[in-house]
């Protein structure tokens, strides 16, 4: 992965990879290194607990099915440590069934990452769970989003305006549907709308919104009502921020097209 894909502020973050497979650990650590992160490994749940207790990490990638103290037990014990309760815990699992994903969330994990790990999904997951520490870091992350949107805009050309308009109309309708489902405590509908919105956001490089909607879908699936109001508010904020990015890209595209039309024709 080239340096343009590195996560701004990554060098200041410490990540623990907890997995009893040395191959999985090496692959995860190489991917993290390519994104700019430093990482350490633990091969048992007990070792992960001890390492985090001595020097807390910013995020833990936790294999759910380690031998001995598995990821579920390690998560439960880690969450019992009051002062370490806020660390993002991401389940890394080959499990794809709803029941197995639900078990990860009910144990206290924040999100689920399906193996084998892939660079882009891993990067987007880390961007979601490791918010920027500084204004400069946030600005550099915004620049990454704009670069992806500009690439998408160049693919669609003049038709990108229609893509953005369709996205905005669809998203605003779905945000209304989310609020209505939440007000009525309709978890199946909330999950259904969150799933659809996550997909449409990912299609147009709205990765933060897509990630938040995916987490909302997982929480609804697991029947977890705690924190839903905060999550919905975060989705709304992410939409406002992404809209500003879309406005910027549309202005750049309009300026570029205007310059093309005003340039003298050479023969």
Q: Please write the tens of the pLDDT for every residue from 151-204.
A: 999 999 889 999 999 999 999 999 999 999 999 999 999 999 999 999 999 999
Q: Strand, coil or helix: what is 266?
A: coil
Helix orientation angle between 98-106 and 207-221, rounded to the nearest 10 degrees: 90
pLDDT at 51 over 90: yes
- pTM, two decimal places: 0.87
Confirm if 62 and 74 have CB atoms less than 8 A apart: yes
How far apart are alpha carbons 112 and 89 in whole angstroms?
A: 9
Residue 79 structure tokens: 């969450």
How far apart are alpha carbons 32 and 29 in whole angstroms?
A: 5
pLDDT at 145 over 60: yes
**What pLDDT score does 3 carry?**
44
Beta bridge partners of 91: 62, 112
Confirm if 152 and 198 have CB atoms less than 8 A apart: no
What is the 8-class DSSP label of residue 158? Answer: G
Integer CA distances (angstroms), 200 to 44, 45, 106, 186, 243, in order = 38, 37, 27, 22, 14
How far apart are alpha carbons 56 and 125 in whole angstroms?
A: 20
**What pLDDT score does 1 carry?**
42
Least confident among 62-71, 103-112, 145-154, 213-222: 62-71
pLDDT tens digits, 76-127: 888 887 554 589 999 998 876 788 888 898 888 999 998 899 998 999 999 9
Residue 105 structure tokens: 């969330």
Reported as a pLDDT band with limits 50, 70 and 90, residue 264 is low
């Amino acid at each position: 992965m080239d340096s343009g894909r590195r996560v701004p502020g990554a060098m200041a973050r410490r990540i623990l990879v907890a997995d009893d497979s040395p191959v999985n650990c090496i692959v995860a650590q190489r991917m993290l290194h390519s994104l700019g992160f430093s990482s350490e490994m633990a091969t048992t749940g007990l070792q992960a607990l001890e390492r985090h207790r001595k020097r807390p990490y910013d995020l833990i990638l936790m294999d759910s099915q380690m031998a001995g103290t598995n990821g579920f037990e390690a998560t439960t014990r880690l969450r019992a440590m009051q002062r370490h309760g806020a660390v993002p815990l991401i389940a890394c699992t080959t499990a794809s069934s709803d029941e197995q994903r639900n078990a990860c969330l009910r144990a206290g994990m924040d999100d689920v990452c399906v193996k084998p790990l892939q660079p882009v999904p891993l990067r987007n997951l880390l961007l979601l769970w490791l918010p920027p520490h500084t204004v400069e870091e946030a600005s550099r992350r915004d620049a990454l989003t704009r670069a992806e949107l500009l690439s998408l805009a160049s693919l669609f050309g003049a038709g990108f305006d229609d893509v953005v308009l369709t996205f905005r109309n669809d998203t605003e309708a779905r945000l209304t549907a989310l609020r209505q489902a939440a007000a009525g405590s309709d978890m199946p509908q909330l999950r259904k709308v969150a799933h659809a919105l996550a997909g449409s956001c990912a299609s147009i490089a709205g990765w933060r919104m897509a990630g938040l909607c995916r987490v909302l879908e997982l929480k609804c699936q697991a029947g977890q009502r705690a924190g839903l109001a905060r999550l919905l508010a975060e989705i709304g904020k992410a939409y406002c921020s992404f809209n500003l990015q879309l406005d910027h890209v549309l202005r750049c595209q309009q300026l570029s097209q205007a310059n093309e039309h005003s340039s003298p024709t050479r023969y």
